[in-house]
Amino acid sequence: MDKYRINRKNALPLAAAIREYLHDTHLSSGLNTRRIFDAWDKASGAGPFTLKRFYRSGKLYITLNSSVVRSQLNGRKEQLLESVNDILARDECFSPEDPAVSWVQELILK
């Protein structure tokens, strides 16, 4: 725990200290994935219709239980992608420098 002691001269903002701790303990990938799923729910408003969420290699796979909702969201794919990444950019705990889980580059609706 001495590793996390900081002198006053080397003080960090709390958000930066938390981000560093999450990175050092290898928790950032799981939390980033969770934040991406939450951003999807906020951006799309289709949380109640979402059956499965899966993220890998910059691709967010979403399985919906309604074909009507899926067709409506298909028309707004680019807007949704920008909106999800916008929400992630404003999130202080999201760490885009994580090599495993970073920005959403593609949205795949099933």
What is the reported pLDDT for 2? 60
Q: Tokens 């705990």 belong to which residue? A: 93
SS3 call for 55: strand
What is the reported pLDDT for 15? 77
Amino acid at 57: S
**DSSP states of 8-47 as a string?**
GGG---HHHHHHHHHHHTT-HHHHHHHHHHHHHHHHHS-G
pTM above 0.85, yes or no: no
- The mean pLDDT of the chain is 89
What is the reported pLDDT for 5? 67
What is the reported pLDDT for 107? 96
First to last CA, the chain: 46
Q: Give the C-alpha separation, 88 to 95, whole Å.
A: 9
Q: What is the pLDDT of residues 28-62, one digit of tens each?
A: 888 999 999 999 999 999 999 999 999 999 999 99
